[in-house]
């Protein structure tokens, strides 16, 4: 039986590329959550005012990968200390946020925010924790972006170093290539 996790930590393309390579993650979809507009377009989200965050929605097998491990990867691969910003991406759509589906996910996320993340980062953690309500998939051209566009400048400069870090730090957890 699979479970789902919805996480926002800046660019969804980065997290999509990372989680797609992890054993036990069965599906990764880029999209939006946490806003007030039904079925928002990318343009609406980036113009501001919808309240949505860029997120990845993961479908995973908890017998293979735990929610705690998913959260560990989340905190290792983005900066949870910058409010509404990841590197050059600025705006509330790039906020660090965990949308929990169950009380257990809420408790595990709260624990990760309070204990694990501060062990990695010296500045205060600003990751938000909110109940999950809806997920809106991003446009089709946005899905699987890194795999479709490995030679794009953004992929080479921003995502490739994260993939290299993933291979070094989490090699035992990677899907066979």
Share of the chain above pLDDT 70, in %: 100
Does residue 89 register a pLDDT over 90?
A: no
Does residue 69 register a pLDDT over 90?
A: yes
Positive or negative torsion for Cα 111, 113, 117, 122: negative
Catalytic residue among 11, 53, 109, 117: 11
pLDDT tens for 140-154 read 988 999 999 999 999
pLDDT tens for 1-29 read 999 999 999 889 999 999 999 999 999 99
Q: What CATH number matches the domain at 3-173, 3.30.1540.10, 3.20.20.70, 1.20.1250.20, 3.30.1060.10? A: 3.30.1060.10
pLDDT score of 82: 92
pLDDT tens for 98-143 read 999 999 999 999 999 999 999 999 999 999 999 999 999 999 988 9
Residue-range domain boundaries for the chain: 3-173
Would you call 155 a catalytic residue per the annotation? no
């Amino acid at each position: 039986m699979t479970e789902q996790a919805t996480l926002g930590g800046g660019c969804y393309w980065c997290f999509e590329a990372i989680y797609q390579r992890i054993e036990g993650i069965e599906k990764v979809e880029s999209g939006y959550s946490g806003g007030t507009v039904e079925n928002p377009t990318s343009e609406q989200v980036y113009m501001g005012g919808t309240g949505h965050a860029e997120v990845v929605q993961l479908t995973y097998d908890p017998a293979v990968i735990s929610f705690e491990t998913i959260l560990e990867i989340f905190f290792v691969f983005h900066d949870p200390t910058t409010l509404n910003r990841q590197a050059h991406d600025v705006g509330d759509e790039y906020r660090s946020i965990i949308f929990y589906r169950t009380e257990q996910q809420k408790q595990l996320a709260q624990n990760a925010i309070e204990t694990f993340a501060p062990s990695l980062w010296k500045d205060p953690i600003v990751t938000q924790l909110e109940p999950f309500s809806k997920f809106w998939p991003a446009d089709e051209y946005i899905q699987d972006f890194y795999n479709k566009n490995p030679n794009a400048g953004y992929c080479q400069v921003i995502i490739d170093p994260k993939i290299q870090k993933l291979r070094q730090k989490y090699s035992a957890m990677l899907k066979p290539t």
